[in-house]
Amino acid sequence: MAYLDLILFVTLLTLGYVVGQWLEKKHFRSIMEREERYRKLLTFNERFPPKGLKSVNVELVGGNVVISIDYFKRIAAGLRGLIGGRVTAYETLVERARREAILRMKESAHNKGASMIINVRLETASIAKGQKQQIGSVEVYAYGTAIIPG
């Protein structure tokens, strides 16, 4: 029975690594491509619009994303939790979530015909579920004020 457990463990680990890495690479490619597409839509964390804007509409725009860890990342982070240091397994996860949330916000603003988004803020939350909270997800919500030239 011990061998069966071990085989299951290694299989899940391998599966988590192969599939997780593939999805992550794919996601990063998509993020870079879309970031390039919406580069003209400027985003700032300034609270006030640049001076000299005349007759604009403003609207709240937001983008939200939840990304889950895979089995491999969980084990890697668990090991890291024993010795401490940079949890690289989670860093990529959070990076993806942050950029994806901003992109979704930009997409929404783009559809409204906005020229820029000001006062951009990010909110994060962690979602953990399952026995002993072994399945972790990160939520990032990006929101800001879209400036729509009227």
Partner 1 sequence: MSYQNPKIPEGINVTDEHPLKDFFSMLLGVGLLAALFFLALSFIAEKLVVYIPFETEVVLAERMTEGMSESPDEDSDPHQLRVESYLQTLADQLAITQQLPENMPITVHFVKSDTVNAHATLGGHIIIYSGLLEKMPDENTLAMVMAHEIAHIKNRDPIIALGRVLTVSLAMLSILGAGDSGFSDQLVSRIGQLTMLSFSRKQESLADELALETLTEHYGHTGGAETLFSIFEDEERITMPAFLRTHPVTESRLNNVKEFSAKQAVAQSHENRPIPDWVVEDCAPANETDVKETDEKKSAPEKIK
Residue ranges in contact with partner 1 by CB under 8 A: 1-2, 5-6, 9, 17, 21, 32, 39, 42-44, 50, 72, 74-76, 78-83, 86, 88-89, 91-92, 94-95, 116, 130-134
C-beta separation of 32 from 62 below 8 A: no
Q: How far apart (Å, rounded) are the C-alpha atoms in residues 4 and 39?
A: 51
The least distance separating partner 1 from the CB of residue 55, rounded to whole angstroms, comes to 19
CB of 19 to partner 1, least distance (A): 13
Closest distance to partner 1 from the beta carbon of 113 (Å): 18
In angstroms, the CA 20 to CA 49 distance is 41
**Residue whose CB is less far from partner 1, 2 or 54:** 2
Task: Label the pairing between strands 42-43 and 56-68.
Answer: unpaired
Start-end of H helices in 38-84? 71-83
- Nearer to partner 1 among residue 124 and residue 133 (C-beta): 133
